[in-house]
Each structure stands twice: as structure tokens, then as C-alpha cells.
Amino acid sequence: MGDPSGIGPEIILKAIFSKHAKNAARMVVIGYPEPFVRDAGLLNLDIKIRKIDSPHEVTEEENTLHLIVPAKSIDIPLRYGILDKSCGHAAALCIELSAKLAMNGEIDAVVTAPINKESLNMAGYNYPGHTEFYQQLTGAENTAMMLTLGNFRVIHVVTHIPIRDVPDMIKKERIVKVATLMHDVLLRLGIKRPGLAVSGLNPHAGESGLFGKEELEEIIPAVDKLKEADIDVTGPLPPDTVFARAYNGEFDGVVAMFHDQGHIALKLAGFKFAEGSREIGGVNTTLGMPIIRTSVDHGTAFDIAGKGIASHLSMIEAVEMAAKLVRGNFH
């Protein structure tokens, strides 16, 4: 469901009744009914909300939202755009239930709507985001965040840490692990020999040590290790050009060193803002877990929540990506 105060319920409603999402998967929503009743009214949707206890109860009934409600009852405020611990608590319970259903094999994949990290922490769930929460729930030791926009793909060595701490976290072993996760998922998506590019950390990829030692001490040894494993990899390449080269098709994926290095590049390509409209594309996929989890590539958008103008493109793409991963190929 995501944070009920944001655009999560709205984009879920728009997506699950869209032709593209319905063609990709059979869907069940984990959440509380009140935000969906509210947003169905906002969107003038004539739908039925049917509470069920198990994903196996999903039917082909038209214009029906099949909803599994967490066991704990919560009085959710229905105002838009607010920070509230009840909203954070509701979002957290939905995350926990989704992980349980996926780990038990009752659902094939999880697609998440955006959460507000501050509300989540107000409710006592001290995680910087979805990725770390699911990592704890599934017992995964090494996960990584991959963003995709069509054939433009970026994975991150580190994500939710302060910029001042990034250089100390750029280690050979972590780079090798993250690049291998990307290589393996691209094979799963049907790319026979994925070509990866590894970004540098420093300007001009360090310029042979003139602008920093991370390339010489950690990144180049990681690239050499990947080549020894017969992975088609190039780098480290200057961060100011490697993403443009990948976006134009030269590489199947880029290993970015930190959160904003990769996110800015992909969101610049995928987010379109115009007066009165927004088109938000891109998918966030967590790799390295025993379950499949994809997500929209944007936040709760409190500034437009309740206006009925939120783009559901990223949600549709997240459903499609999850279905592709379940089926094990890109076609």
C-alpha cells in the first residue's frame, strides 16, 4: 500500500485496473481499505473492494480490488501529505505481511508503493528505506538496488549513507558482489552476455590517482576480479559520461558507486515534468534477496497527493518487471 498519506493508494488503483498491469500479472493488494475507498472517490472509480484472507482467493471478477488486510487494526488518518506515525505503522505492517507471504511462497513477487521514511521511523521502524527493511525480514546478507528504465539499468555499490562516508565504503569485495548480482539478473532477463560498465568514484575516474585513490586501490582490482570470472566489464569509466553511454545502448548496465550518482542519471532520463502533468518512469528492483521485490522509482509525492494527477507509469513498469523476473526471461 505504501504510506496512506501519499500517492501510493492512488497509483495502485490506477495501475491494477490498467490493461498493461492486468496483462502482466494477477494482483492482490496488501493494505487497509479506507485509503482505497478515499482515492476511488477521488478518481471517480466505480470499484468493489473485496477483503480476502489468502492470495488464492483472488478471482477474475471485473472492477474488483482484492485486498488482504494486516491483522492489526489501525486508525489511519485520511488526510493527504502529513507525517504521522499511524501511517508509518500501517505501511510497515503491510511490508511485513508481504515479506511473509512471499517467503511462504503464497505470492510470486512483491511490488511496493512509496513509503515516507520519517513516518516509518516515527512508528518505531528504524530503517532508511524499503531495501533495508526487506533485507532484515528475509535474512538476506548482501542486497543491492538496481534501477531500470527500459534498457537503461543502474546498480549501486552503496545507497542510504551520508556522502562523507561513501569513500570508506567503496571496497573491492562489495563492487564485485554488486556487479555479479547485476550480471546474474540480466542473464535471467534473457541477455545472453551482459556488458557492464563500472563508474569511477572521483572526477575523471581518478585520473590515475590525481583526484583520488579509490579507483587504483579498490575499483580497478574489482574490475580485474570480474574479468577473471569471465564477466564482460569495462571500467572504471568517468562518471560524467558513462551513464550517457549506457543510456544510448553501449552497455547493458552500469555499476554506480553511490546513491545520487546513479539515481540522478536515471531519473533525469525517466522523469518528465510539464505544466499540469507528470510522467514518472523507472523501476527499483532489490537484488540479492530470496524473494522478488520491485518498486516504483519515486517517493510519496506529498505535494500532489489528493489531486488525482499522480503518474502510475512507474507502478505499471514495476509490476511488469516483477512478472518478467518470475518468468525468468525478458520476453
What residues does each domain of the chain span?
8-140+298-327, 144-265
89 residue type, one letter: H
What is the CATH code for 144-265?
Answer: 3.40.718.10
Sheet holding 232-237, edge to edge: 110-112, 293-296, 283-287, 144-149, 152-156, 253-256, 195-199, 232-237
Closest CA to 104 of 63, 165, 56: 56
What is the structure's pLDDT at 280?
84
What is the structure's pLDDT at 111?
98
Above 60 in pLDDT, residue 330? no
Pair type for strands 152-156 and 253-256: parallel
Above 50 in pLDDT, residue 308? yes
CB 224 within 8 A of CB 177: no
Strand residues in 60-208 grouped as ranges (E): 64-68, 110-112, 144-149, 152-156, 195-199
Q: What is the pLDDT of residues 6-51, one digit of tens each?
A: 999 999 999 999 999 999 999 999 999 999 999 999 999 999 999 9
Above 80 in pLDDT, residue 104? yes
pLDDT confidence band for 53 (50 / 70 / 90)? very high
Above 50 in pLDDT, residue 190? yes
pLDDT confidence band for 74 (50 / 70 / 90)? very high
Cell 511462497 locates to 105
What is the structure's pLDDT at 278?
75
CB 302 within 8 A of CB 80: yes
Q: CA of 85: how far to CAs of 78, 124, 136, 269, in Å? A: 13, 8, 21, 34
Cell 502482466 locates to 24
What is the structure's pLDDT at 270?
87
Strand partners, 148: 153, 283
What is the structure's pLDDT at 193?
97
Above 60 in pLDDT, residue 331? no
Q: Give the contacts of 4 (CB within 8 A, at least 6 positions apart).
A: 31, 32, 34, 35, 76, 77, 78, 87, 90, 91
Q: What is the DSSP letter of 271?
A: E
Closest CA to 235 of 257, 260, 265, 268: 257
What is the structure's pLDDT at 35?
97
Check: pTM over 0.95? Answer yes or no: no
What is the structure's pLDDT at 306?
96
CB 31 within 8 A of CB 87: no
Closest CA to 219 of 233, 240, 229: 233
Cβ atoms within 10 Å of 205's Cβ, excluding its own: 24
User: What number is the average pLDDT over the span 164-168?
Assistant: 97
Closest CA to 14 of 35, 58, 45, 41: 45
Strand residues in 229-282 grouped as ranges (E): 232-237, 253-256, 271-274, 277-280
Helix 8-16 crosses helix 33-42 at what angle (to 10 degrees)? 70
134 residue type, one letter: Y
Say whether 144-265 and 8-140+298-327 share the same fold: yes
Q: Report the chain's terminal Cα–Cα distance, integer Å.
A: 28
Q: What is the DSSP letter of 140?
A: -
Cell 498493461 locates to 20
User: Torsions phi, psi of 254, nearest 5?
Assistant: -120, 135
Cβ atoms within 10 Å of 20's Cβ, excluding its own: 13
Instruction: Tell me the percentage of the chain whose pLDDT exceeds 70.
Output: 98
Q: What is the mean pLDDT of the chain?
A: 95
Pair type for strands 152-156 and 144-149: antiparallel
pLDDT confidence band for 203 (50 / 70 / 90)? very high
User: What number is the average pLDDT over the span 290-307?
Assistant: 95
Class of 8-140+298-327 in CATH? alpha beta
